Amino acid sequence: MKVNLGSASKIFVGWKNIDHDDILGWARKHNPLQVADIERWFEQTDIRAFLERTPDNVVEAYSMIHVLDHFTPAEALWILQQIKRTLVPGGVLRVEVEHLDHIIQMWHEGRLNEFNEDQPPFYRTSSDDMKVALLVFGNLAEEQEYTGHKMSYTRTSLNEMIKLAGFEKIIFSGGGKDMNRFSNIEGWQPEWNTQPDHSLFMECQK
């Protein structure tokens, strides 16, 4: 079993896709062509509830794409610990979060307009100081409203959090568009990533 935690409407065929939102209802209204895949591969439930009821050593791979930074550090640590518990030996966790170092660097270099393409209209017409705050405190691409992040990560702090959760083997870490194509998860598709131009990617193994 492979599990995509916090899937939203990005459904991985062949995986169990978990989200607390009514993605099926959304698809029936906005994307009818996606309904069949969602009915087969999606489960509407809270990530924490799903992890709590999942037995030890049963999941081959987990994906968390722009999900971990929507939890407090304490919540994120518990989630990562549960993921480690439920992974099979040698199983892989893939995490994608906002790349705080890169966002701040782009702010100082006056290059935040380079992210306009995958941001809501409000971002595109904002000042650079507003843009950096929107990115750090939370955004969802192609939406009109920004949702709050409860944490932001650098490569070092994400590494630290993963180590605190008990993972000892980080097998991949990097940021930017060129990094999103690599994965140790068999069958991984680069198009499954979100906003790779300002994302940090990390994979660890149980």
pLDDT at 11 over 70: yes
pLDDT digits (tens, 9 = 90+) for 35-52: 999 999 999 999 999 999
Q: Which residue has the tokens 């999941």?
A: 59
User: In this structure, what token pair is assigned to residue 194?
Assistant: 């979100």
Whole-number Å distance between alpha carbons of 19 and 206? 24
User: In this structure, what token pair is assigned to residue 79?
Assistant: 């989630």
pLDDT at 201 over 60: yes
Name the CATH architecture for the domain at 46-99+149-205: 3-Layer(aba) Sandwich (3.40)
pLDDT digits (tens, 9 = 90+) for 68-119: 999 999 999 999 999 999 999 999 999 999 999 999 999 999 999 998 887 8
What is the pLDDT, as a whole number, of residue 55?
98
Between residues 113 and 142, the one the model is more confident about: 113
Closest-CA residue to 176 (of 156, 151, 155, 161): 155
